[in-house]
Amino acid sequence: MMEKHGNLMQFRPDIKVVDATIRDGGLVNNFYFEDDFVKKLYETNVKAGIDYMEFGYKASKEMFDVKEFGKWKFCDEESIRSIVGENDTDLKIAVMADVGRTDFKKDIIPRSESVIDMVRIATYINTMPAAIEMIEYCHALGYETSCNIMAVSTARESDINLALELLGESSVDVIYLVDSYGSLYPEQIRDFSFKYQKIAQKYGKAVGIHAHNNQQLAFANTIEACAYGVSYLDATMAGMGRGAGNCSLEALMGFLKNPKYKIVPVLKFVESEIVKLKEKGVVWGYDIPYLCTGILNLHPRAAIAAVKSNDKNYSDFYIGLWDRED
């Protein structure tokens, strides 16, 4: 029997809020954020009591052209330090490293030499052995680690069970439930939360959630997972993120009852910085093509293309998705 953890009037000390604005939001603008924007976001997160700020990716410069992306695609140590200095705050710094897209042995330096606290390893279910290698490498260097298993909505249950056991036996600190396609409903999130929690409790791990908003359920799914014991909660300013975006940080701040979390600095950042981005033409957030890919449990790449081309033939788009080999 699944039990709820706490109630709406309580705060849980195990909860950690992770701001993923630069990393997931960077997928919208190729990581071209002004230093001033990133600095203000960092200062806002400190004021708001946010626990972790994810700066971006540790992507391979052999694989990705540095001229085609902003610096937060690569998160060089000096780039982060130019924003946070020695980070003499309670806010922890995180970066993401994708399996197969990072030169982790070259680009990730020992924790003792870095201002980064956590490396978040992102993997698909079929590359779990490579993810475990990265987890153990980063753990040995002294970092906190998480593993984000992407697109679990398309994976076989037996594969998920095996992957969770492998992660349980690894040195990873946090196992992430990721709704990559924004296709899961709260009832399914509840079941996944229970499955992940069972392994986490067995091996002494924490569980996190990273939700996408294709069906306007990112916030609902995040607080549903939270209600069933998931403690690391990803969110972004105004939901900024790939395609339909993510759980919005301001909504999460309004929900959580821990007095350390403060919504006003977040609202001030949205009004002063996010509004400007939108006025410059940076686009993200719920749109009908994303709803369609979410309903059909498909990667949103077709929806991203449709939104970019301003295609409003929604019914044709939806019918066409049925014929896709994706």
How crowded is residue 174: how many other Cβ atoms within 10 Å of its Cβ?
22
The sign of the CA dihedral 135, 138, 142, 146 is: negative
How crowded is residue 296: how many other Cβ atoms within 10 Å of its Cβ?
15
Per-residue confidence (pLDDT) for residue 5, from 0 to 100: 82
CA distances from 163 to 193, 230, 240 (A): 15, 18, 29
Structure tokens, 176: 């992430």
Backbone phi and psi for residue 166, each to the nearest 5 degrees, phi listed first: -60, -40
pLDDT tens digits, 14-52:
999 999 999 999 999 999 999 999 999 999 999 999 999
Per-residue pLDDT of the chain (326 residues; tens, 9 = 90+): 567 887 766 778 899 999 999 999 999 999 999 999 999 999 999 999 999 999 999 999 999 999 999 999 999 999 999 999 999 999 999 999 999 999 999 999 999 999 999 999 999 999 999 999 999 999 999 999 999 999 999 999 999 999 999 999 999 999 999 999 999 999 999 999 999 999 999 999 999 999 999 999 999 999 999 999 999 999 999 999 999 999 999 999 999 989 999 999 999 999 999 999 999 999 999 999 999 999 999 999 999 999 999 999 999 999 999 876 54
- CA pair distance 37, 200, nearest whole angstrom: 36
How crowded is residue 304: how many other Cβ atoms within 10 Å of its Cβ?
21
DSSP string, 5-56: -S-TT---TT-EEEE-HHHHHHHHHTT---HHHHHHHHHHHHHHT-SEEEEE
CA-nearest of 252, 294, 238, 191 to 24 is 238
Reported as type and span, the H/E element at residue 119 is strand 118-123
pLDDT tens digits, 235-259:
999 999 999 999 999 999 999 989 9
294: number of CA atoms within 13 Å, CB side? Answer: 23
CA distances from 124 to 22, 23, 178, 190, 311 (A): 22, 18, 10, 21, 30
Per-residue confidence (pLDDT) for residue 130, from 0 to 100: 98
Q: What is the mean pLDDT of the chain?
A: 96
CA distances from 169 to 96, 126, 129, 139, 174 (A): 21, 17, 12, 13, 12
Amino acid sitting at position 24: D
Backbone phi and psi for residue 189, each to the nearest 5 degrees, phi listed first: -60, -40
Per-residue confidence (pLDDT) for residue 6, from 0 to 100: 73
- CA pair distance 178, 55, nearest whole angstrom: 18
CA-nearest of 54, 32, 28 to 41 is 54
Provide the CA 312 distance to its chain's centre, in angstroms. 29
* Collapsed DSSP state (helix, strand, coil) of residue 234: strand
Environment class of residue 86 by beta-carbon count within 10 Å: exposed (0-12), middle (13-18) or buried (19+)? exposed
pTM of the model: 0.97
- CA pair distance 231, 239, nearest whole angstrom: 19
Per-residue confidence (pLDDT) for residue 90, from 0 to 100: 98
- CA pair distance 309, 290, nearest whole angstrom: 14
